[in-house]
A and B are shown apart, each in its own frame.
Chain A
Amino acid sequence: MSVQYVDPTVSRAKFDREIAEYKALGEEYRRLGWFLVHAEYPRVLVVLAAAKLTPSPIIMGVAFDYTNYDAAPPSVRIVNSYTGEPYKHRELPTQLNRSLPQQEIPLPGFDAVPMMKLQSVQPYMQAYGPEEIPFLCIAGVREYHDHPAHSGDIWELHRQEGAGRLVRLLEIVHRYGIAPIAGFGVQLVPQVGINYGPPPP
């Protein structure tokens, strides 16, 4: 639970503007599969569905806490859409992976031609362990700026450009967590047994 140290009137006004601007374009966002299901200062819950699939499954909820906004960035958690509980790292429906540039590594013993190609990914959701609540590790998110590893990348460097804005953060979660969904994954495990007819008299 965060302590409100900014004049609540200021934070609330900025929060209300975020919500009003979201609602003004709500139809556009709904087409992407975004559903604003709760917005009461300082919290917002938006549920994201994979709109391009039929039927369209709900993939995750994104919970925001705009306490002290925008003197401080919002907290962002990926949550269970139905309970609102933050997912532990091992429960995440997606880790919001970003493809890194492909690396070509020469194979030892061969001349330059044969190259091993490595395609690695970087998850934007970070945690210390599978049982921990992960956080969205990008500038504009409270957990990122509170982390000691990012003390050199302070919120004030990103505040003016709207890095903590609701739509900007939802766009990122959508881009890496929803847009890459290509279809349903179905695993069928056939089991072979012996079927007997009626037993002989």
Chain B
Amino acid sequence: MPHQNKVNLIVVVNGRPVEVGENIHAPLRALINQALEKSGNSGQPIENWELRDAGGTILAPERKLEEFSFPDGTKLFLNLKAGIGG
């Protein structure tokens, strides 16, 4: 039986999907950390990454998962920011 407070999502890290499960009361930051760890991307601080939904909306890491009511299996996209450049 699935845990009531847990949601299982797919986070696509720089194009590569990883499955992550997180408590809905946790901030997105926890989800991002987990996705980075599972994808072997632990070298960069979380501030250098940007999470978006399938529609392209950027999701702030401070917001809690429960605010979005993501169903299990929802895909989110985590991408390394462009940086300073120029």
Please determine whether B43 and A161 come into contact, CB atoms closer than 8 angstroms.
yes
Q: Are B14 and A167 in contact (CB under 8 A)?
A: yes
Asked whether, in the complex, the Cβ of A162 is within 8 Å of the Cβ of B41, the reply is: yes
Interface residues in B, total, Cβ within 8 A:
22
Q: Are A124 and B56 in contact (CB under 8 A)?
A: no
Q: Which residues of A contact B75 (CB under 8 A)?
A: 25, 28
CB neighbours of A161 from chain B (8 A): 14, 41, 43-44, 80
Whether A131 sits at the interface, judged by CB under 8 Å, is no
A189 and B86 CA atoms in complex are apart in Å by 37
Answer whether residue A179 sits at the interface, using C-beta atoms and an 8 A cutoff: yes
Closest to B81 in A: A172
- Given the interface pairs A122-B85, A139-B83, A167-B79, the reply to whether A28 lies near B14 with Cβ below 8 Å is no
A28 to B54, CA, bound (A): 7
Residue of A nearest to B41 (CB): A161
Bound complex: CA A140 to CA B48 (Å): 14
Mark interface residues in B20-54 (1 if CB within 8 Å of A CB, else 0). 00000000000000000000010110000010001
User: Which chain B residues border A122 with CB–CB below 8 Å?
Assistant: 85-86
B13 CB contacts on chain A under 8 angstroms: 162
The answer, yes or no, to whether B15 is at the interface (CB within 8 Å) is yes
A162–B14 CB distance below 8 A: yes
Which residues of B have CB within 8 Å of A171? Answer: 77, 79
Give the distance in Å from the alpha carbon of A179 to the alpha carbon of B50 in the complex: 14
For chain A, residues 106 to 141, give those with C-beta under 8 angstroms from any C-beta of chain B.
122-124, 126, 137-140
Cα A136 to Cα B7 in complex, Å, equals 37
A21–B16 Cα distance when bound, in Å, is 7
A163 is an interface residue with CB less than 8 A from chain B: yes
- Is the pair B41, A144 in contact by a Cβ cutoff of 8 Å? no
B85-A18 in contact (CB<8A) = no
A166 within 8 A of partner (CB)? yes
Distance to closest chain B CB from A95 (angstroms)? 11
Which B residues touch A144, using CB under 8 A? 85
B1 contacts chain A at the CB level, 8 A cutoff: no
Contact B15 A168 (CB under 8 A): yes
Q: Is A31 an interface residue (CB 8 A)?
A: yes
A–B pairs, 10, beta carbons within 8 Å: A32-B56, A98-B85, A123-B86, A161-B41, A162-B13, A168-B79, A172-B79, A172-B81, A172-B82, A176-B82
